[in-house]
Amino acid sequence: MPAAQPEAILASRRALPRPPVAASRAVEAEGGCGVIGIASSEPVAGRHLLQALRQMRNRGNGKGGGIAAVGLDPAFFGVPARVLAEDYLLAIATLDRSVRSHVERNFVEPVFVVDHTAEIPLLAGAQASLGLDVPPPEVTCYFVRVREEARAAFGRAHGIADPAAADDEIVYQNTYRLNRELYASTGEKRAFVLSHGKDMLVLKMVGYGEDVIRAYGLEDFRASIWIGHHRYPTKGKVWHPGGAHPFIGMHEALVHNGDFANYASISSYLAQRQIFPLYLTDTEVAVLAFDLLNRVYGYPLECVIEAMAPTTERDFSLLPEDRRDLYRKLSAVHIHGSPDGPWFFLIAQSDPGSRSKRLIGITDTSMLRPQVFAMQRGSTSIGFAASEKQAIDAALESLAAEDPRYWSRADLFWNARGGSHTDGGAFTFTVEGRAGNGGTAGPGNGGTLLYCEDKFGKRIEPDATKRAPTGVVKPTGGRGPNPADIVEEIQDPVASFETIRARIPGWDYVEVANLLEELEQAARGGGDRLEVAALLTLLMDRRYSMGAMKRSCVLSMVDRAMLRVLEGARGARTGRCVWFESGAPAKDAKGLDSVAIVDGRGYPAEGPRSLARAIVELHGRGFRRILVFGVRGQRFIGCGLGPEVDGLAIDVYGSSGDYLASGMDGPAIHVHGSAQDQLAQIMKDGTLVVHGDVGQTFMYAAKGGSVFILGNAAGRPMINAVGRPRVVINGTCLDYLAESFMAGDPLSGGGFVILNGITFDEDGTMRDLESPYPGGNLFSLASGGAIYVRDPERKLTDDQLNGGEFAEMAAGDWEVARPFLEENERLFGIPLRALLTVGGRERGPSEVYRKIRPSRHKALLPEEGWVRPEG
Amino acid sequence: MSAIPLIVEKHRHALHAGFHSWPTLGFLPPALGDARWTPELILATWVQAEIGRPPRNGAEYRVGRSEGGFDLLGFRSVDSERRIPDSDPIDTSISLNRRPYDRKLEIPVPWYGAGMSYGSISEQIMLARAMAAKEWRTFTCTGEGGYPDSVAEYRDHVITQIATGMFGVREETILRAPIVEFKYAQGAKPGLGGHLLGDKATMAVARMRESVPWVSLFSPFPFHSVYSVEDHKKHVDWIKAMHPEALVSVKVSTPTDVDMVAVGSYYTGAHILHVDGSYGGTGAAPEIAKKNIAMPIELAIPRVHRFLSSEGIRDEIVLMASGGIRTAYDVAKAIALGADGCVLGTTELVALGCTRCSNCERGRGCPFGLTTTDPELSALVNPEWGRERISRLYESFRWQIEDLLRGLGIRSVRELRGRTDVLTYRAAGEAHAGRAA
């Protein structure tokens, strides 16, 4: 959409009354929050968002929650699809019923033709039943068009020719006036505009995000795009719904996790453009800046993102020349409007011109807030962005439970690299092809198309050659291509796995279902439960070809089988397995080989009755093997077990939460799947194996331990680690790997990181990543330890280092690294020989790996000569 | 045979003689102290550390001559008939947990010792402080440099600090601690993490921190895992998951929005909010940080106290103040401004002979064997002697606070909190109207 006279639009705002309070400091203070966004080719009901928000409750404090929905269901409002698509949906919250006629008389009727009015029904007794501090506002939706005469007058007065631009600006200014008079003025807060864009609705209140869905009965309300937010404000005894997220621009709503430091600077940047915030929170200025760049200036999305999160440092220098020119100009003009500090924005947007809808996730340049993206593509397609992976898992699980078109695992999970030349730190999910529900069919499946692009327009696509099942997959009871022998050799799960690995490429989903059914049968007696679990674990953990089937679909089936196999231990009286669940009394181990099977689903995420404390208790009662399944974001697993724990093994299945293994000293923890943020902080000793990716600040200030990561680590892994941590990361890291690493001399007992820079495709084939480490600040200011990076093509360059230097991989280095790569092979099935094979030929370690070591630091001060070596 | 023990003994003797006789000489040593820590104040602290009472020769032991901060505050005089007789008990204890839940913990004096790391100070000094804390049933704090095994014997009186570099912090050292302190920032260098210059990172220090010897150790400015209040809550929850019995203290410096930080800490479940003002710290902070950033503690305390009160949560969180608390009168003033109690760092070092020469960043810069881990210099302090000195200082402080409370007609130090009405303020340059100091 070309810009329609930005100067005229901005000039037209000069007549607006100024806010009663000047914006110099964000009065509303809050820190991080919980956010999730969903974009789906097929509209999704609110209850699935509810499930995700419920599980992220600990990211808010109940003082503000909100949702935005885009691509709505016209039936919900009782309007024809055309009205939903073409009218502005003016949603007004009233905190005081008596103000409604005033609102209509002064802010609706003079400006708009009202095609339809609908009230959002509020759950009876919502305040009491949801335990809310403040009653939720009453919400009226007006489907309106700008009056011809109002448009003509506005166009004449300000010289704005484009009717669509004039309409938008009229709506925008009308909202500003309403909010200023009835919300932001110093008196009683009476009413405010929740949203005014087309085909979109914002609802928010004082409470948790999921309370909003419950209070307004949105469980069955369907939308193509959802964003949800829990707020964590830390000031004030009295909260108002207007302060909750999302905040709106024009046809978009924004939620935010984080806070930034330059509120005053952005406010003055906006003031120079006749934009004045009314709610005094940093989130509001963020969306005002977005609207300015997007609508008023009409910048392409890439430029909007660049203006908000500029590409910096080495990444900037790696951009193509034309981009550098463009970005330099953007920075010159907009750097003062660029939020500085930790933030992650999720934006839900409708584009009335093209009738497409978008979910945009943008992370700050330094990636200081957690963020994860995901996508699943079958007969419908769905995309996610959230502050935690477990929230995405929760939404998918909720969807899969009632709709066979979804399954519980996403095809892809990934993190954005903020301010980078690779993905630009932003991803957009676009839903195209229909005008609201029931509109005309467009391209793609089910009449709509969902696709995901990074900032530069590069598509993110699951492997299109793989097919999801059509409809429900049920076992036929048949023995398919003979799983009987697999079940017969179950005492040797590794051999069984190898048999399956060889056969599964030729199977279909029914055959997989048949095998799983057989395995469940075998486990039912109880004798072989742990062996079946071990086989299912290998099916989950290993990367191998599944023929034409999607890995995520097969693994969703394996997950369900695993759940049933382990749930079978609940009533079992015989065998080694002892069942535990939240609230059940703890029991002593029956012997050294007793295995505690813990159903993680009912445990709170933290606190005295948390899963973490239950594990500590079980360890105290003599269990040496603990198998935890159904984990739903519970934090601190493996914390609190105490020093020098010997011979304890913990297996974790499901969506494990933050801080897993932090402080661990001795146990072995295997995470069967991806893990979240802050893993293995200050870890001292023991083994941590993650069959997937790990999140932010992994192994911060770790002292030791052996750690194996199958996938990638997000930002800031290993910062300030000391002592003797030995880590293998088979993928790569976003940024700041091993900053201030101080782990002695790797050749005499110190620590190191082996970075393999590989990935696996959908068929389980190992491939080299484009670069083993795409970022800068590698091994910055490190004084000890080393990084052994697999970089046969010598792609890494000196400018990625800061205080480190490349060196040859000497025989001594290989001697310390090799055992860890052999263990890596055993754990993940990544053959050492394959790692050393480049271009079809196996090479010597020094041809494939490079060492990064600290460059010589400043010579000792003369005075230090006084100190004897053994002080 | 090595002559070192003899040399150490000789120096020790000379130092102890000096700490004893300088305050008695009737003239001030040249080049001692500064306007905040005047020569009189340093000498008076030495006297208190020896006799357990304020000096009796009329030397000033309550305020300095900075013409700012606590030096401009005094206490009102009260009619002598309202004075509480010496026979009545005065309560100087404070609670360190005012939440309705979790372990109740009281200390008999309204202060505990500040975090000073192994590396910034010697093991002997850590021991002396821990022994004094045990004797007084209060606390000292590890700082961020590990928890020497010798100190573990005093674990019931030692706070484990977790700071941004997490040096020497292990689950084991967290599990030892009755109180775990998160140090987000320190008043001496707000916005910066801890610094230990290469000179002080000796073999022994590096071993304790598991780092590389002779390399400067810079703790990150923030916790890389905490960029928001919800991250901070998770951080606190982590400690509670490891060690549910521990109380949690949050140490922050005094930025202009320290009140918001305070409320944020309250909501995350912290028991103690420790606000560290800008006068504190040893000489081992960069000049730019020492002299230019953060709010003086006497401004921060009432601001936080009032804000917490207006939010209705003041009585659920303990507010401890530090950063320039030199004397018993400073402690009382901080409490009258709104703190529950104070945290003492430099004062304890002065009791052990520190002259505020500000050479602390050098490995062999401290002539008294305090802020050094040099094996010879640190031998100058015998922990038992150190315990005695700190203990006597505490005794003097308690006596003064009791005396002050009697004079004000207040029976408990808890009732002094927020009583700005008992304070007097004089403009710089004027003499005090009310009671001395």
Write out residues 220-249 of B within 8 Å (CB-CB) of A: 220, 224-225, 227-234, 237-238, 240-244
Query: CA-CA distances (angstroms) from residue A446 to A175, A379, A400, A405, A468?
Result: 36, 7, 18, 11, 15
Query: For residue range B195-216, what is the model confidence (pLDDT) as tens digits?
Result: 888 888 899 999 999 998 888 8
Tokens linked to A586: 């703890």
Pairing of strands A837-838, A841-842: antiparallel
Q: Which residues of B touch A742 (CB under 8 A)?
A: 209-212, 215, 217
Query: CA-CA distances (angstroms) from residue A233 to A118, A342, A530?
Result: 31, 16, 46
Q: How far is A784 from chain B (nearest CA, A)?
A: 6
**Interchain pair B263, A863: CB under 8 A:** no
Q: Do residues A820 and A754 make contact, with C-beta atoms less than 8 angstroms apart?
A: yes
- In the structure, what pLDDT confidence band is assigned to residue B187 with cuts at 50, 70 and 90? confident
**Interchain pair A234, B264: CB under 8 A:** yes
Task: Find the residue in B nearest to A684 (Cα).
Answer: B170
Nearest to A425 by CA among A658, A774, A732: A774
Q: Return the H-helix or E-strand segment holding B5.
A: helix B4-21
Q: How far apart are CA B332 and CA B75, in angstroms?
A: 9
Q: How far apart are CA A852 and CA A798, in angstroms?
A: 10
Which of B166, B171, B203 faces A720 most closely, judged by CB atoms?
B166
Q: Which residues of A touch B219 (CB under 8 A)?
A: 720
B170 touches chain A (CB under 8 A): yes
Q: Do residues B264 and B229 make contact, with C-beta atoms less than 8 angstroms apart?
A: yes
B414 touches chain A (CB under 8 A): no
**Interchain pair A636, B257: CB under 8 A:** no
Q: How far apart are CA A141 and CA A96, in angstroms?
A: 16
Q: How far is B269 from chain A (nearest CA, A)?
A: 11
CB-defined contacts A:B, below 8 A: 195
Task: Find the residue in B nearest to A34 (Cα).
Answer: B230
Three-class DSSP category at A152: helix
Neighbours of A617 (CB within 10 A): 14
Which of A34, A703, A783 faces B170 most closely, judged by CB atoms?
A703
Pairing of strands A752-755, B106-107: unpaired
B211 touches chain A (CB under 8 A): yes
Which of B212, B228, B374 faces A31 most closely, judged by CB atoms?
B228
Q: What is the sign of the dihedral through the CA atoms of B90, B96, B100 and B104? A: negative
Task: Find the residue in A nearest to B267 (Cα).
Answer: A234
B149 touches chain A (CB under 8 A): no
**Interchain pair A606, B267: CB under 8 A:** no
**Interchain pair A867, B374: CB under 8 A:** yes
Q: How far apart are CA A489 and CA A629, in angstroms?
A: 25
Arithmetic mean of pLDDT over chain B: 91
**Interchain pair B237, A607: CB under 8 A:** yes
Task: Find the residue in B nearest to A739 (Cα).
Answer: B220
Q: How far is A853 from chain B (nearest CA, A)?
A: 13
Q: How far apart are CA A210 and CA A195, in angstroms?
A: 19
Query: For residue range B338-369, what is the model confidence (pLDDT) as tens digits?
Result: 999 999 999 999 999 999 988 888 888 899 99
Residue B305 confidence (pLDDT): 97
Tokens linked to A552: 């995520």
Q: How far is B309 from chain A (nearest CA, A)?
A: 11
Q: How far apart are CA A169 and CA A10, in angstroms?
A: 9
Q: How far apart are CA B119 and CA B371, in angstroms?
A: 8
- Strand order in A412-414's β-sheet? A200-205, A65-72, A222-230, A34-45, A381-386, A372-377, A412-414
Does B15 score more than 70 pLDDT? yes
Query: For residue range A174-230, what is the model confidence (pLDDT) as tens digits?
Result: 999 999 999 987 678 899 999 999 999 999 999 999 999 999 999 999 999 999 999
**Interchain pair B238, A636: CB under 8 A:** yes
Residue B294 confidence (pLDDT): 74
Within chain A, which residues score under 70 in pLDDT? 1-4, 22-32, 186, 234-238, 434-447, 478-484, 856-871
Which class for A239: exposed (0-12), middle (13-18), buried (19 or more C-beta within 10 A)?
buried
Q: How far is B3 from chain A (nearest CA, A)?
A: 16
Q: Which residues of A touch B375 (CB under 8 A)?
A: 867-868, 871
Q: How far apart are CA B3 and CA A871, in angstroms?
A: 17
**Interchain pair B241, A640: CB under 8 A:** yes
Q: Which residues of A touch B205 (CB under 8 A)?
A: 871
Does B433 score more than 70 pLDDT? no
Least confident range of A57-66, B256-265, B280-289? B280-289
Mean pLDDT on B115-140: 97
Q: Which residues of A touch B229 (CB under 8 A)?
A: 30-32, 232, 234
Task: Find the residue in B nearest to A612 (Cα).
Answer: B241
**Interchain pair A658, B363: CB under 8 A:** no
DSSP 8-state assignment for residue B313: -
Query: For residue range B377-409, what is the model confidence (pLDDT) as tens digits?
Result: 999 999 999 999 999 999 999 999 999 999 999
Task: Find the residue in A nearest to B219 (Cα).
Answer: A720
B311 touches chain A (CB under 8 A): yes
Task: Find the residue in A nearest to B264 (Cα).
Answer: A234
Residue A16 confidence (pLDDT): 92
Which of A32, A643, A784 faces B227 most closely, judged by CB atoms?
A32
Residue B186 confidence (pLDDT): 82
Q: Which residues of A touch B218 (CB under 8 A)?
A: 740, 781
**Interchain pair A606, B237: CB under 8 A:** yes
